[in-house]
Amino acid sequence: MANERKTESLVRSHFEKFNDIIHIEEQISENAQVNKLLKSASKKGSGIGRPEFLITFIGNSDLLIVIECKADITKHESFSKDKYSEFSVDGVLLYSSYLSKDFDVLGIAVSGETKQQLKVSHFLQLKGERKPITIFGDKLLTANDYLDGYLKSPEKFRQDYNSLLAFTKFLNDTLHSYKILESQRSLLISCILIALENKAFKAAYPLFGSTSPTDSPEEKKKKIENASKELSSYLVDTVSNELKNANIKGDKLENLNVQFSFIRTDTSLSTKVDVLKNLISDIDKNINSFIRTHEYFDVLGQLYIEFLRYANSDKGLGIVLTPPHITELFSDLAQVNKNSIAYDNCAGTGGFLISAMKNMVEDAKGDQEKIKDIKKNQLIGVEYQAHIFALAVSNMYIHQDGKTNITNGSCFDDEIISEAKNKKPTVGFLNPPYKSDKKKDTDELEFVLNNMECLVDGAKCIAIVPMQSSLAQSGKVFELKKKLLEKHTLEAVLSMPDELFFNSNVGVVSCIMVFTAHKPHPKNKETFFGYFKNDGFVKRKVQGRIDFYGRWPQIKEEWLTSYQNRKSKPGFSINKCVSAKDEWCAEAYMETDYSKLSKAQFLKTLKSFVFINELYLKQNGANSSS
């Protein structure tokens, strides 16, 4: 006869090995909120729900593990998943549906009486989510593996990212109320994030403005007034010293000090101590925690994009920062690995370099010497705008190095070109400034040519540019297209979603161009054209354009597979021989996908044409009769 106690014993002995980081409870919890949620969660339809195990993490109160056991492996999961008292999967999903109202829940269903026959299923249901998703595998893992997998799951990232966007809206409103200029808001945040890396600063800042009960009212007022100026100066001085210790010197350090200097004199920051203290505390709680969990993400770039949504003070400069999911796509398209050397001549806030760093570090597989070399020598960037350069350096600093290879200047300067060439970059990435004045501004394709000039032979260059750059059949842009093909090979052009830059308040329809550097385009070479218009992102009023339904990972995989295998698919992609005089876009050559056309759709379209024709004849009867 099946004995469920044996199953419970196996689970208990497995998790007891991790008592240093978890707290194990059985059926009833010491947490009143957990018991309240389970009050009506009985598997039989009424009464209190009593899971076999409830596990919490000592260092993370957000995640709750709930476990349901069955001795008989045939009672692991029902087809309908609604036989809660009979099957372990059904039961754990029931508990998860109740507990996920206030917790992120990892539900584990376990069936079997021996280690050899044990059957395990895992489900993650985040707080407020209606549906759980299958996660991990079919074996019990260590407590650390569960925590790490949860924190780094796409679902958790989406949840945390949405929270970050919500905080950004709050932060922007707060800074606006303090009259802090839009152009200075990201700089202030980057300054605070760098300072928080300093343990002494993190321990000391909450103490500024503290008074003693024995102080007179005048003494208290004076202490608070002095504390405001002292804290703002302490913040800037800490950052300057941190950057100096990180081997940033000379003009580069001086430029950064100039960018952060407004903090010392800003009225709100230097005269109201609680304003700056509260900002530092809020940023530590809401942004630093995100960075610690999601290590290689261009947080400052995302904040800058969000601030542009409300102000867009840099639209005239042509600054359009690349959405994070596209910077990640670039690294995957280029197949960046631990030996790659990445170069971005229009670095912005460093988004492409951070995405490249992520792929490089992952490929290094824990080799700390290699990871150190990657961050020190294999990430190269140039940024012209001084305040954006400060954000890029800050961003790279927050990600533990790489900042010394970011240069403030023009990528067309001979000295900068020579310096970049000497580092022998094997991969080029760029999103060039978009022209606001067609006659005076440097063309986007000139930046592409400049990037490839610095790359080694055979290197891949990937650029995202306005679609009009690919369509030109005369004039300056046409001549640049000819020059590109004379020197380099056009491997692919991918048409991007029309509203890709919606969050930057810029209506630019764009495409991604992929080149092989220093290999002239062969006459009969077929270029891959992808109609990659749907990335799964949707617009939401507060968050902007986001991956609300979690579709992007699957869509990205489809895009990469299509590109890597050069697959032609009606309505999606095609391979075509092109020259400079041709349009470089999928729309010009793609075959219509008739497989998706139903009889009902065909008749509906036909009727609409008949209706329009009849309406036209009615309105223009006299002319049509003649």
Mean pLDDT, range 102-121, rounded to an integer: 94
Greater model confidence, 227 or 499: 499
Mean pLDDT, range 433-462, rounded to an integer: 91
The residues pairing with 122 across neighbouring beta strands, listed in sequence order, are: 108
pLDDT of res. 308? 61
pLDDT of res. 624? 37
Mean pLDDT, range 250-272, rounded to an integer: 86
% of residues, the chain, pLDDT over 90: 58
pLDDT of res. 314? 45
In tens, the pLDDT along 171-209 reads 888 988 888 888 788 889 999 999 998 999 999 999 887
Question: What DSSP line would sit under 202-231, residue for residue?
Answer: HHHGGGTT---TTS-HHHHHHHHHHHHHHH
The encoded tokens of residue 305 equal: 């994009």
- CA contacts within 13 A on the Cβ side of 383: 29
Query: Could you tell me the fold of the domain covering 312-523?
Result: Rossmann fold (3.40.50)
pLDDT of res. 182? 80
Alpha carbons 365 and 342: distance in angstroms, whole number = 19
In tens, the pLDDT along 565-608 reads 998 999 999 999 999 999 999 999 987 665 666 677 667 666 66
Domains in the chain: boundaries:
4-151, 157-288, 312-523, 595-625
Q: Is the pLDDT of residue 312 over 90?
A: no
Mean pLDDT, range 87-94, rounded to an integer: 94
Least confident of 46-55, 360-369, 535-544, 591-600: 591-600
**Start-to-end C-alpha separation, the chain:** 94
CATH assignment of 4-151, given 1.10.10, 2.60.40, 3.30.920, 3.40.1350? 3.40.1350
Greater model confidence, 613 or 170: 170
Work out whether the CA dihedral 241, 244, 248, 252 comes out positive or negative. positive
pTM, two decimals, is: 0.78
Work out whether the CA dihedral 171, 176, 180, 186 comes out positive or negative. positive
In tens, the pLDDT along 318-362 reads 457 788 899 999 999 999 999 999 999 999 888 999 999 999 999
pLDDT of res. 401? 63
Mean pLDDT, range 417-422, rounded to an integer: 96
Residue 66 near residue 51 (C-beta atoms within 8 A): yes
pLDDT of res. 398? 81
pLDDT of res. 586? 95
Owner of token pair 């208990």: 12
Q: Is the pLDDT of residue 625 over 60?
A: no
